[in-house]
Structure 1
Amino acid sequence: MSQSDVEQMKRPLRRDARESRDKLIAAARAEFADHGVDASLEKIARGAGVAIGTLYRHFPTRMDLLIAALEPRLQEFVEGADTAMQMDDPWAAFVAYLDNLFAVQAGDRGFNDFLSRRFPGNAETEHIHDVMCQQIEDVLTRAQEAGKARPDITRADIVNLIWSNGRIIDATSTKAPTAWRRQLHLMLDAYRAERAHAIPEPPMTDEQLYDAMVHLSKAK
């Protein structure tokens, strides 16, 4: 890369280019929210009133556009997660963390898909997922160490809950948009330490979980 290329990258976007980028992000938010991460990029470009080549100049890959479009949802999630994780009561923190996570999931099909899958070719999405997984591990472990959550729950069980919640959201979003919350709290009741009993099937390993999330991306 030449010095002139570096200087070009540092230079702020012209007003018309900035407006095109903003329109693309707005159109992408609407399309990803309605149709998930596999939404048509051509339709996004048309919605923004630009050519598909303009879209690729601003966002060379689908993941680049997705991250830009999901920024408000990710910020909403981060703020709620921070609030939950600062709560004094470990069980209340666990419940609040999942309630916040699923509330954001319910409001955006693109974010729903993003939570459910892994995109191993993109370092930024991998980092976001790793942070979320560590948060789940932390809030769950804290509830377990306090004797509030059953000790055999793992991160994979929470991701399974995210997957099942995604299907509930798909089925009920237009007719009963908060139905997911009943299912979440039924499951949370089953996660309480006093409800624990032997389970015949072990949890997925971290490797199995990761492969399953990648498979969901490849299956689309």
Structure 2
Amino acid sequence: MSPGAPSADETAAPSLRSDAERNRARIIAAARTVFGRGGLNASMASVAREAGVGIATLFRRFPTKEDLVAAVFADRMDAYADVVTEALDDPDPWRGLVGIIESVCAMQAADYGFADVLTMTFPTAKTLEQRRIEVYHSVVQLIDRAKAAGRLREDFTPEDLVLIYMANAGVVNATGHDVPDAWRRVVALMIQSYQAPARGPLPDSPEPDALYRAMLRASQASFASPGPPERHGGT
């Protein structure tokens, strides 16, 4: 071997790293497809099949399903944050809030996986959860502004926004194949019901801690389940 020429080990290492990175990208792309059409109940085995890798390779790259979810939906959470930032810049806070609801519900309708992400919580996915918290505080600001402007009913709470996403996810999952735009009517009805002046009192809002437990239970149930047959026909 000539002086200065790389050894076999040195040339092999970059190749191994390159293969690992290709596998990681392939797995993320596959998971985006599988979760997008089947929601988070889809199994890790189905992701491995879609990616064309062994299940052991998948778990080397992503030791837990939460790790994979965090990687797959990081860009979706960024897009959600961008929607909220744009809404905060709107001089009409009610229009901004409506824009958030409509845009995010449309994102749910287009991606079953993201529909699930917004109705669950993932304590070990620190970056994803931190992003969610940042967005939450921005939305609270907008809710307060819309109330101050007299456009949003006073008894609306941030937890109601979570309930909207939960309700929309249910409608999308139930009707996505046969009536793909049904969610639009349901969301419009909910938006109109929250507009001021209120047309009547509402039952008490869920306690934040109780709603968090419900979201956590949903994520635990989803990750524990082997997954139902995959749904098809999302918009």
* TM-score over 0.5 (shorter chain): yes
Structure 1 residue 138, shift from structure 2 partner: 1.8
Secondary structure of the 1:14 match is helix
Among candidates 76, 81, 85, match of residue 73 of structure 1? 76
- Pairwise CA distance, 1:219: 3.2
**Structure 1 CA distance for aligned equivalents of residues 142 and 184 of structure 2:** 19
Would you say the 8 A contact 2:87–2:93 is kept in 1? no
Alignment match, 2:117: 114
What CA distance in whole angstroms lies between the structure 1 residues aligned with 2:50 and 2:190? 40
- 2:191 aligns with one of 188, 193, 205: 188
1:87 CA drift (Å): 0.8
What runs of 5+ residues in structure 2 fail to find an aligned partner?
A: 1-13, 223-235
Match for residue 58 of structure 2?
55
Structure-to-structure mapping, 1:23-62, within 5 angstroms: 23-62=26-65
Q: Secondary structure at the match of 2:197?
A: helix
- The offset of 1:12, in angstroms, is 10
8 Å contact kept, 2:70–2:125: no
Matched, 1:105 2:108: yes
1:160-181 deviation digits (Å, cap 9, x = unpaired): 1111111111122122222212
Post-superposition Cα deviations, 1:30-76, rounded to whole Å, max 9, x if no partner, equal 11111212311112112212111111121121111112212332233
Identity within the alignment, %: 35
In structure 2, do the counterparts of structure 1 residues 15 and 120 end up closer, same or farther at CA, with 3 Å as the change threshold?
closer
1:92: how far off?
0.5
Bigger relative CO (Cα 8 Å, ≥ 6 apart): 2
Q: CA deviation at 1:13?
A: 6.8
Distance 1:45 1:219, change over 3 A: closer
Root-mean-square deviation over aligned CA pairs? 1.9
Number of equivalences: 209
CA distance in 2, matches of 1:65, 1:217: 13
Q: What is aligned with 1:168?
A: 171
Deviation of the 1:17 alpha carbon: 1.6
Q: What whole-Å deviation, never above 9, does each CA across 1:107-145 have from its counterpart, x for those lacking one?
A: 111111110011223322321332232233122111011
**Residue of structure 1 equivalent to 2:180:** 177
Query: Structure 1 residue runs of 4+, over 6 Å off?
Result: none
Distance 1:21 1:192 in 2: 45
Q: Pick from 17, 20, 42 the counterpart of residue 14 of structure 1.
A: 17
Which residue of the partner structure matches residue 8 of structure 1? none
Read off the aligned partner of 2:221 and give its amino acid letter. Answer: A
Check whether the contact 2:81–2:135 (CA below 8 A) recurs between aligned residues: no
> Per the alignment, do residues 19 and 187 of structure 1 end up closer, same or farther by CA in structure 2, a change over 3 Å counting?
same
Shift of 1:25: 0.9
TM-aligned CA distance change 1:188 to 1:36, over 3 Å: same
Contact 1:85 1:97 in 2 (8 A): no
Q: Distance in 2 between matches of 1:134 and 1:181?
A: 26
Is the contact between residue 27 and residue 44 of structure 1 (CA under 8 Å) also seen in structure 2?
yes
**Following the alignment from structure 1 to structure 2, what is the Cα–Cα distance between the partners of residues 198 and 48?**
51
Q: 1-side partners of 2:204 and 2:34: how far apart? A: 38
| Matched AA of 1:86 | D
Residue in 1 that maps onto 2:90: 87
Structure 1 range deviating more: 135-144 or 11-20: 11-20
Q: Which residue of 2 aligns with 1:152?
A: 155
- Name the structure 2 match of 1:208: 210
Describe the SS at the equivalent of 1:153: coil
Larger radius of gyration: 2
> With structure 2 as the length reference, what TM-score do the two structures score?
0.82
